Amino acid sequence: MDRREEKFVVPDFWCTDIATQLDSSYKILEIEGQRSFRYDNLYFDTPENITLEDHIRGRKCRYKVRIRSYVSSNLTFLEVKKRNIHGRSVKRRIKRSNDVKWDTPLTTKERQFIHKHVPFANDFQPALYSRYTRFTLASIERGERITFDTSLEFTSMSGIQVTPLSGLSIVELKQNETDRRSPLHKAFKSREDRITPLGRGIRVSKYVIGRLNSDESISCRTYLSSLKKLKRATSIAKAQAAN
């Protein structure tokens, strides 16, 4: 809930190789025999797209507000995620009722929760759906979690569906404190097919990627560099998969 994060994009077929290459201190999350889980998300933003604009501009202090459904576990949470000026990501959440559809409108209590943690919480409204499959490795010894997100899909509130990262997965390294000696870094560096930007740290937000690719009216501005890197990563991943 309070961590430092680093993100990477990799071809889908790298994921199993990287996971099995990590040392024995890492354990895979398994629930009732399952190791891969679907996540459904509904992101919220203001009519002025404040959270989106803050991410595009790279503001040090920024927020994400979302409902996250852990489909396999039948659990749903309303989450507020803040990245602070020190580069740490702090997440707060409250559980949603299982008696209603996971993306049902926010209750008064839930809006009060958002107001408590977001300074510009007026008029938050649904902005984007996303869906992906995740498996998670964790090392208690190192204070690390590594998540592998595959099969990413996005749907705008007008029903436009996009898969801009086809063939790519997003890998996130979550640490108590930044440690460049992580076995994940070593695993990436050992690959002969590690062509920039694959397996290198990248500024990427699933929310931003989904919004920019499903709404042509939004200007990408300072996010253009990341979009170019993702386009190049997609081309390289397709070429590697074909070989």
Identify the CATH number of the domain in which residue 10 sits: 2.40.320.10
Q: What's the DSSP call for residue 79? A: E
Instruction: Place 98 in a pLDDT band, splitting at 50, 70 and 90.
Output: confident
Closest alpha carbon to 229 in 141, 147, 168, 161: 168
The model carries a pTM of 0.94
- Phi and psi dihedrals of 75, rounded to 5? -120, 140
The 10 Å Cβ neighbour count of residue 117 is 15
Amino acid at 210: G
Among candidate residues 133, 134, 128, the one with its CA nearest the CA of residue 161? 128
Number of domains comprising the chain:
1
Range of the domain at 34: 2-242
pLDDT value for 20 = 93
The pLDDT tens digits for 159-217 are 999 999 999 999 999 998 888 889 999 999 999 999 999 999 999 999 999 999 999 99
pLDDT digit string, tens, across residues 60-74: 999 999 999 999 889
- Tell me the DSSP string of 135-201: EEEEETTTTEEEEEEEEEEEEETT--EE-TTTTEEEEEEEESS--TT-HHHHHHHT-TT--TTTTSB
How many CB atoms within 10 Å of residue 240?
15
Residue 29: predicted pLDDT: 94
Amino acid at 143: G
Average confidence score pLDDT of the chain: 94
CA distance 237 to 38: 23
